[in-house]
Chain A
Amino acid sequence: MKKVLIIGSGIAGLSCAIECAGRGMEVTLISPFPSERSQSVLAAGGINACLDHCQEGDSKESHIEDTLKGGCNIAGKEAVSGLCRDASNIINRLEKLGTVFSTEPNGRISVRAFGGQSYKRTCYCGASTGKQIVTALVMEARRLEGLGLITRRLWMDFYSALIKDGVCYGAILYNEAHVSFEIARADYVVIATGGQNALFGKTTGSTLCDGYVTGKLFMQGVELKNLEFIQYHPTTIETAQKKMLISEAVRGEGGRLYYEESGKRVYFMEELYGERGNLMPRDVISRCMDSTGKDIFLDISFLGKEEIIKRLPEVYDLCLKYRGIDISKDSIPVSPSVHFFMGGIAVKNDHETNIANLYAIGECASIYHGANRLGGNSLLAAIYSAKVASAAIENSVLSRTDEDFTTDLNEARAVLRTLQGSKSPFPVWYIRDMLAENMREDLGIVREEGRIKKGIEDVSYYLSIADKIHYDNSVLAYFNYSLTGILTLAKATLMCALYREESRGAHFRSDYPETKEAMAAATIISYDNGNFRTYFDLEGKYER
């Protein structure tokens, strides 16, 4: 029986655990906290699929075309085609697992309009699609746990992968309950740890997604891809504790963006792009908002209280609770904020990385979305990628030698001891705060060479002191040892942004505003003993 170790238990990790267990594999699911705490529960709007009862004129080809176009033509056609063609099967499967989709009186799953799409094809569960899917997947995983096919291990953190000669043999984990490192051997390791939110401090997502695993794997020789493509969601609302997402569903239901000038409303997106202006891709809207230099508002009040509460209850509650705004009467003050990472671990179409037997799925893997992701495609990709990876693992032929990783385990212990012995007064928070400030300033919606270079210089300095900072006994060991990986990933992200001397999708360079045909490829970055190497994947080494 093949042994699979899955790191991360959000929608991607859960789906992969279910798929692998269903294919007769022995699965261990690792995460510090249960799935209900994952960022997946925040996914509000929906999941795209061209169903049998699709809008007239819609087709799977149209979904493929919209996805490729939204990604500014650098996503692999074959990969995207697989994603979109399987979407309706995924919806059916989710329904069979008990997901409570919103339906029409005739029982068919409801669909709504989403940005960058030619037709209404976003299936949804009210405004809590992610949460409803998590609930269904947790139940199915629970059944398989009962059968002994999935073993969940909570309070466990990833430290590093066990890699020798380009092959992965498992991982070193940190057991927070036992306060010690341990080796977890596996035939295959699947990474499903989400995006690198912590690079930017608090984003619309979970504080648990920090990018450490991606950064650490990069330092161990795993290639990363497209890190410069970071999606700024156009509509978020500022609250005292974070910027909260105002779902694209509000614009899908007719919400209009505007600013005020001389006492009059200027519906700038409609003026620029016509009737569907409010549903342009997220990167376009965020840039347009940024360029107005004005306070932007989103109006949905015309829908009336009854309809708003029926169709967008979570948005109504959120605005009232955190800002005291009744959206059936007043407009929502919105601004763009970091929301999704198109870049991450470079994977081939079967989701294997450049290290044999090491796979990456969900947001931490970079595939399907190119330079910009369409709303409704991330939940789809999380589940589809899990399916593809588990099929690839099932079909792969395992031939390997027994390797000894005692040295790696001792090294991990030594790293922690060195950190614990530091005399510096500066805690991890201090560096993480400064990093977030740098990244927000130097890698905003509009970028340019000078700022990016300054960012690289600052992050390089933080890296030079990262192993000398104060070890904080009052926070998890993970929090202390994860800093170097996070900083390394931040530096790689800035390097990718510097390398791409053009503007494409979510990456806009004021010093290179044009899109260049010669750069219509993914950026790949690799690491070797402190040296970063960046190149364009013009030959299709990864995604095709």
Chain B
Amino acid sequence: MNVRILRQRSPFSDPYWEEFFYEDKENQTVAGMLDDLNYKDDLKTIAGESAPRIQWECSCLQGMCGACAMVINHRPALACETFLRDIKGDTVILEPLKKFPTVSDLVVDRSIIQENLKNANTYIEEYSADKSSDFNQMYSAAKCLKCGLCLEVCPNYGKGETFFGAAFANDCYLIASRSLSQKDTIKESYQSHFAKGCSKALSCVDICPMKIPTLTSISRMNR
């Protein structure tokens, strides 16, 4: 299998393409493939030239931490749960997420997600559960990885200046369900940083690796 990677040595250098060859293994994922390529003593491109190791972020390697989010064959996904067997054709193309600044190769700086949640006061403060709240929805919302895939595909999300996207909407629902005292404040914040900007394209729902029913969070928050 051919592996085409959009590379970048540092935040300030220019991106460039490099191509490698990888002998596919049964049930191998893109993450496992990157590991295999990097573990070689000397990484060589298809043209036989030495190349620096491929930078990518990983931690859990099983779809539970969101570190390895990247664009795989033009679709944003987690590398550790994208299987090579599902790649159409004989080339896998890897690019960094485009809505966040590139740090190096496939590593991006997603700190804007945390910054926005902090600036929008996305916290519980005083716990008082809404008795009518739905366990399954809260449980799902709390599983958000903050991986940024939903923001990458969202047609309304730019650089996170005013519209904060689905990750924020789910946190809003969680807070509204766990803190009656924060409910009104978070609803206001939700209006300005989500409801006003969402055109309900719902691409966030399809792409979410945790399958969070964001539409339910939205409809509950809109009530």
Interface size class of A (residues with CB under 8 A): 35 or more
**Residue ID in chain A nearest B128 by CB atoms:** A96
A398 interfacial by beta-carbon distance below 8 Å = no
Q: Inside 8 A of A202's CB, which chain B residues have their CB?
A: 61
Whether A433 touches B39, Cβ cut-off 8 Å, given contacts A100-B135, A135-B142, A241-B80, is yes
Q: Are A140 and B61 closer than 8 Å at their CB atoms?
A: no
B114 contact set on A, CB distance < 8 A:
34, 142, 152
B111 is an interface residue with CB less than 8 A from chain A: yes
Chain A residues, Cβ within 8 Å of B123: 139-140, 142-143, 146
Q: CB of A532 within 8 A of chain B?
A: no
Q: Which of B61-96 contact A (CB under 8 A)?
A: 61-67, 80-81
Interface residues on B, range: 35 or more
Q: Are B62 and A37 in contact (CB under 8 A)?
A: no
* Chain A minimum-CB-distance residue to B124: A98
CB-defined contacts of A208 to chain B, threshold 8 Å: 59
Is B214 on the interface with A (CB-CB < 8 A)? no
Q: Given A135-B174, A152-B114, output 15 extra A-B contacts at Cβ < 8 Å.
A: A37-B59, A37-B66, A41-B64, A98-B179, A128-B143, A131-B142, A132-B143, A135-B142, A143-B121, A145-B118, A146-B118, A207-B59, A240-B26, A240-B32, A433-B39
For residue A206, CB closer than 8 A to chain B, the reply is yes
Measured in the bound complex, the distance between the Cα atoms of B64 and A36 in whole Å is 9
Which chain A residues in 226-278 approach chain B with CB under 8 Å? 239-242, 244
Q: Is A33 an interface residue (CB 8 A)?
A: yes
Decide if A39 touches B59 in the complex (CB within 8 Å): yes
CB contacts (< 8 Å) of B80 on chain A: these are 241
Find out whether the CB atom of B62 lies under 8 angstroms from the CB atom of A244: yes
Please tell me if A154 contacts chain B, counting CB pairs below 8 Å: yes
Closest Cβ of chain B to A434, distance in Å, is 12
Distance in angstroms between the alpha carbons of A444 and B29 in the assembled complex: 28
Please encode chain B, from 6 to 43, with 1 for each CB lying within 8 Å of some chain A CB and 0 for all others: 00000000000000000001111101100100110100
Contacts of B64 in A (CB 8 A): 41-42, 128, 131
Assembly CA distance A125 to B136 (angstroms): 11
Taking the closest CB of chain B, its distance from the CB of A371, in whole angstroms, is: 27
Q: B127 touches which one: A96, A244, A323, A475 (CB < 8 A)?
A: A96
Asked if B178 is at the interface (CB within 8 A of a chain A CB), the reply is: yes
- Interface positions, chain A 305-355, Cβ under 8 Å from B, are 318, 321-324
Indicate if B52 sits at the interface (CB-CB under 8 A).
Answer: yes
Any A CB within 8 A of the CB of B55: yes
Chain A positions within 8 Å of B138 at CB level: 100
Chain B CB within 10 A, most for which of A33, A37, A95, A154 = A37
Residue among B31, B41, B122, B174 making CB contact with A427, cutoff 8 Å: B41
Bound-state CA distance A426–B42 (Å) is: 9
Nearest B residue to A125 by beta-carbon distance?
B139
Q: Could you tell me if A132 and B139 are in contact, using CB atoms closer than 8 angstroms?
A: yes
The verdict on A36 contacting B65 (CB below 8 Å), with A95-B127, A207-B58 known, is yes
Give the docked Cα–Cα distance between A152 and B111 (Å).
11
